[in-house]
Amino acid sequence: MIPIITAFEQSPDRGKGQARDMRVRWALEEVGQPYDVRLVSFREMKEPAHRAVQPFGQIPTYEEGDLALFESGAIVFHIAESHAGLLPDDPHARARATAWMFAAVSTIEPPIVEREQVRYAEGDKPWYADRLPILEDRIRVRLDDLSARLGDAEWLDGAFSAGDLLMVMVLRRLEGIGMLEEYPSLSAYVARGKARPAYQRAFAAQLAVFTAASTG
């Protein structure tokens, strides 16, 4: 049974791989699971057929026979639970990897998304310039703690796990604004993630959607 994921028909970031399907593609590549992709337009995402699987009208979704899932964190977890390679066998180490998955999407990602969001939604407001440093300092509070915990380690807790996969993807959202560069150990951590062959296959696959659309 080949799972089918959804992704944006038109890449909002021009193939930079910041959309959340990239997390799922990477996880599937790590475990060696082939997959199909169904591209959806921004209009289709908000229609009842898509919302039946994704109540918030977003991508990605994951369909595998009778199973239909949403939330990239939960999809990555399902892939990690169903295949070897993304979660340790030891139950305690497995629970700690899960903690890093939740930390990535509920502790580190929200202030990063907030900064992106106000740029789009409030970039023309008179308060934008005054608020930007406040938002960036909130991100730094988290990055300070994360880099302190990572220290000189290669990954967050032993071997590469689904927790690292989500954390690398969340930190990648800072690319291009110069903030990740303030933390050399976190920059190197993200670079290690991106150097993985599975990451590179996933990145190429999502880029191909954009290049095909832009030349088609």
Return residues touching a second copy (CB under 8 A).
Answer: 51, 55-57, 66-75, 77-78, 92, 95-96, 98-99, 101-103, 105-107, 109-110, 113-114, 121-122, 125-127, 130-131, 134, 142, 145-146, 148-149
H-helix or E-strand containing 5? strand 4-8
What's the closest the beta carbon of residue 71 comes to a second copy, in angstroms? 4
| CB closer to a second copy, 74 vs 84 | 74
What residues contact residue 150 under an 8 Å CB cut-off, 6+ apart? 156, 185, 186, 189
Closest to 12 (Cα-Cα) out of 200, 173, 199, 194: 173
| CB closer to a second copy, 99 vs 159 | 99
What's the closest the beta carbon of residue 166 comes to a second copy, in angstroms? 10
Q: What angle do CA 178, 58, 193 make, to 5 degrees?
A: 40
What's the closest the beta carbon of residue 74 comes to a second copy, in angstroms? 4
- Count of C-beta atoms within a 10 Å radius of residue 209: 19
| CB closer to a second copy, 42 vs 102 | 102
What's the closest the beta carbon of residue 150 comes to a second copy, in angstroms? 9
| CB closer to a second copy, 14 vs 149 | 149
| CB closer to a second copy, 96 vs 194 | 96
Q: For residues 24 and 76, is the Cβ–Cβ distance under 8 A?
A: yes
DSSP per residue over 18-45, as a string? Answer: -STHHHHHHHHHHHT---EEEEE-HHHH
Alpha-carbon span 149 to 163, nearest angstrom: 14
What's the closest the beta carbon of residue 22 comes to a second copy, in angstroms? 16
